[in-house]
Amino acid sequence: MSILAKLEKTLEGLVEGVFRRGFKGSVQPVEIGRRLVREMEENRRVSISRTYVPNVYQVYLHPADKENLDALACTLCSELADHLQQAAKRGSYFFVSPPQITFLADENLQQGSIVIQSSFCEEEDAGTGPMVQGKNGLPVENGQGQEATTVFKRSREVLLIVAGPDKGKEWPIDQDVVTIGRGHDNTLVLSDMSVSRNHARLERLDGGAFRLVDLDSLNGTYYQKTRINQSTIKPGDQFRLGTTVVELRAR
């Protein structure tokens, strides 16, 4: 019996007990489990002496399906991460760091649909703030972002993507208002599917600080592990939009 078949049989037990009580969504946890294992096996990478599998999993659901899961998100993510580790052990696979699972809403999906994106991310590169499972389900805050220097006299800031699909992208802030989102009408355009078309706005304040404003985004804007409507940030601070982590830097 293949590793996937074995794990699917084990995962069937998840629909009993805690997941059956009060769960009425069209997406069942056992199906998410099957899809996660399949995603893991399809994206394994063979090294010289080991076979590595992705450790970051973003599970996209219709907003109504995600809402049905929210009350069980922490328990469910913990259980599914444990089963991924069991599956990896049976297949002699290795994670670069413990598996992280995030549930995200995508208004473009039909109800009942499940889309999973996986990636490799060492723990030091993980995002900031709590995600669905309490780790930015997603990715856990690393606190390793580079400190912005304070000796510069000129006020020239940049936005640096430190985690997410656009990692490494840098955008200079040459205006007083910067909009961020997937829509092409934004100042900073991101490709992250968990980011709304018009997700957030940065407004320059006196003294080198900025006001970060969430534009009623679907997956939220996080600063210092808290989902915010608006907050004041300064160079050296990081914030998260969906699964994308952005750092405000002065240079």
Predicted confidence at residue 208, as pLDDT, reads 82
| Pairing relationship of beta strands 200-204 and 177-181 according to DSSP bridges | antiparallel
Predicted confidence at residue 235, as pLDDT, reads 92
List b or e across 10-43, with b for residues whose CB sees 16 or more CB atoms inside 10 angstroms: ebeebeeeebeeebebebbbbbbbbbbbebbbeb
State the pTM of this model. 0.50
The band of 190, judged by pLDDT with boundaries at 50, 70 and 90, is very high
Predicted confidence at residue 122, as pLDDT, reads 65
d(CA 200, CA 122): 27
User: Mean pLDDT, to the nearest integer, of 151-174?
Assistant: 77
Predicted confidence at residue 74, as pLDDT, reads 85
Strand locations in the chain, DSSP E? 45-46, 51-52, 56-61, 93-94, 100-105, 114-119, 157-163, 170-173, 177-181, 188-189, 200-204, 210-214, 221-223, 226-227, 230-233, 238-241, 244-250
Predicted confidence at residue 178, as pLDDT, reads 92
How many other C-beta atoms lie within 10 A of the C-beta of residue 94? 16
Question: Among the listed ranges 3-12, 55-64, 102-111, 228-237, which one has the minimum average pLDDT value?
Answer: 3-12
| Burial (Cβ within 10 Å: 0-12, 13-18, ≥19) of residue 198 | middle
Helix (H/G/I), strand (E/B), else coil: 81: helix
Predicted confidence at residue 152, as pLDDT, reads 31
pLDDT, tens digit, for every residue of 53-104? 988 888 888 889 988 988 888 889 999 999 999 999 999 999 988 898 888 8
User: Mean pLDDT, to the nearest integer, of 146-171?
Assistant: 68
Q: Do the Cβ atoms of 138 and 146 come closer than 8 Å? A: no
Predicted confidence at residue 130, as pLDDT, reads 36
If one compares 88 and 108, the residue with the highest pLDDT of the two is 88
Mean of per-residue pLDDT scores for the chain: 78
Question: Among the listed ranges 18-27, 126-135, 197-206, which one has the minimum average pLDDT value?
Answer: 126-135
Tokens of 199: 């997700």
Full DSSP string of 166-235: TTT-EEEE-SSEEEEESSTTSSEE---TTS-TT-EEEEE-GGG-EEEEE-S-SS-EEETTEE-SEEEE-T
Predicted confidence at residue 88, as pLDDT, reads 93
Those residues with Cβ within 8 angstroms of residue 214's Cβ, 6 or more apart along the chain or in another chain:
199, 200, 220, 221, 227, 228, 229, 230
- Tell me the percentage of the chain whose pLDDT exceeds 90: 36
User: Mean pLDDT, to the nearest integer, of 226-240?
Assistant: 94
